[in-house]
Chain A
Amino acid sequence: MNGYWSDIFTGSKSLVTGLLITAREFFKPVVTEQYPYEVPTMTPLFRGHIELIGNEETGQPNCVVCGLCQRACPSICISLEGKKAEGEGAKGKVLTSYVLDFTKCSLCGSCVESCNFNALRFSKEYNLASFDKNDFIMDLLKRVEDQNRCKH
């Protein structure tokens, strides 16, 4: 019999305490964020997929095709190509294609960190879902052009 009555007593007390706690929560407002309807504010450092930074004035990407990001990437998901710059007084290279295979990307940020030319940043996009795998093979150069078009 040892502990029989105390078990019944403390047990019932603990059960009633539990019920009172959940009852009080019942009348409190919800704490969840209503996902598709409410847009969360992303923190300044949020790592979405990467995107190219366009020049403030010309809108052309800052990228000089050094390929450091490609080498830093642990998942081999960046492929970029460039050609020699043409025209008067031009030097260096011009980006002709910059493709991110987001299906492989692990969002580690090594590419952005390795860039010395302020050419890459993280986008703030978080609604990344699709039925088509090809949607995640992103042409970032085209993205920069689209952004320029929106701006003007």
Chain B
Amino acid sequence: MTVPISLRHDETFVLNLGPQHPATHGVLRVILTLDGEYVVKAEPVLGYVHRMHEKLAEGGTFAQFMPNTARMDYLHALAFNHGWALVVEKAAGIEVPERAEYIRVITVELNRIASHLLWWAAFLLDLGGFTPLLYAFDDREKIIDLLERVTGSRLTYCYMRFGGVYNDIDDEFIAGTRDFIKRLRSRMPRFYHDLVTHNIILIKRIKDIGIITPEQCRRYGATGPVARGSGISYDIRKNEPYSVYPEFDFDIPVFDECDSMARYMVRMHEMEQSLRIIEQALDKLPDGPVMGKAPKVLKPEAGYYYSAVETARGSLGHRLVCDGGKNPYKVKLRSPTFSNLSLYGEVAEGMMLADALAFMGSLDLVIPEIDR
């Protein structure tokens, strides 16, 4: 609901939202200029968790940067792993066995569902609903247990290797994943849609709130569910396919409403599409090795390399510059949330405080990934 702002008598005040605030999910600071409860100006301030990850990459070998990638977007760590593996494989010309590609897709998609579940939980927490968080975490826990089984860690995975993956999946993982698909599909209508999506309070709260026009999306470079909620059908998995994604039959959910509800629905539908991808990948899973031939010491030819993957939050680009040495010369990431957050200030103008925070929740921000 956009309300005209009156700046009469300059009766505005500045509210420092964050860096420690329950709704900013980490250490984002937003300087809000408020007129009563209406936001006159919102200015996000970044950099509170800047850890120089891109610079750190230059100090180590290519493989040594792999654990760092998981520390940026800790909710969809495997996609960041995947992105880094893809760009280095491109630079060094490493072939990946087909089984490894399938395993990558399965684990990345599982991780995507876990990320969306956590977003859903945190979003509901922003809106003041605490119980859905626990229901979502119940499901997410199952994914994390599965991923722990193959990757060895629960959150910050270091699973991809140049030329394959660290570890093969076993029958128990496959059976567990099939069980999980069944479980989530059976729980989805009740615990997610009946309890929350159809709830009149939630609908009134996020419908027509936080309208991002497609033009704004293009101007700020917003990707992922934010763009797809504004009617832009752009998904790296379809538009610039990588790995074995072209072999699967899945849809890109697109909603034209441009509001928070549309972004919500995009993510809910994406979970179902991810389940479909996992199902097909498990059916088609080929036999073979999970590690291809890769030299112990990587020395890619000098040059510029770029590759992009679709994370749960949008398109992630890795830009790699090599000088022929053992270490990357320069690494630059194009992280999705940075662009998604940059439109916050423009869109939040004129909203009420509570709506502005609900809108921020609908962007699905992961601050360490913005600051890197």
Contacts and interface: CB of A to CB of B under 8 A. Distances in A.
Whether A and B touch (Cβ < 8 Å) is answered with: yes
B362 interface: no
B52 interface: no
Size category of the A interface is: 20 to 34
Contact of A22 (B156, B195, B200): B195
Contact of B71 (A14, A15, A106): A106
A137 to B, nearest CB: 20
Interface string B144-182: 010011111100101000000011000000000000000
Nearest to B148: A43
Interface string B124-149: 00000001000100100000010011
A59 interface: no
A109 B195 contact: no
Given A7-B200, A17-B198, A109 B71 contact: no
B359 interface: no
Interface string A6-17: 010011101101
Interface string B44-59: 0000000000000000
A110 B153 contact: no
B135 to A, nearest CB: 8
Given A45-B150, A74-B67, A74-B68, A109 B200 contact: no
A6 to B, nearest CB: 11
Interface string A85-121: 0000000000000000000001111100100000000
B151 A45 contact: yes
B200 A46 contact: no
Contacts of B135: 25
A74 B68 CA distance: 9
A72 interface: yes
B177 to A, nearest CB: 14
B192 to A, nearest CB: 10
Most chain B beta-carbon neighbours within 10 Å: one of A12, A14, A21, A25: A14
Contacts of A109: 152, 158, 166
B194 A21 contact: yes
B191 interface: yes
B303 interface: no
A67 to B, nearest CB: 15
Nearest to A74: B64
Contacts of B66: 74, 108, 110
A7 B199 CA distance: 11
Contacts of A43: 145, 148-149, 152
B363 interface: no
Contacts of A7: 200
A71 to B, nearest CB: 9
A136 interface: no
Interface of B: 60, 63-68, 71, 131, 135, 138, 145, 148-153, 156, 158, 166-167, 190-191, 194-196, 198-201
14 contacts: A10-B200, A11-B200, A21-B190, A22-B195, A43-B145, A45-B149, A74-B65, A74-B68, A106-B68, A106-B158, A108-B66, A110-B158, A113-B166, A122-B152
The 8 residue pairs across chains A and B that have the minimum distance between CB atoms: A11-B200, A108-B67, A74-B64, A47-B152, A45-B152, A108-B158, A106-B67, A43-B149
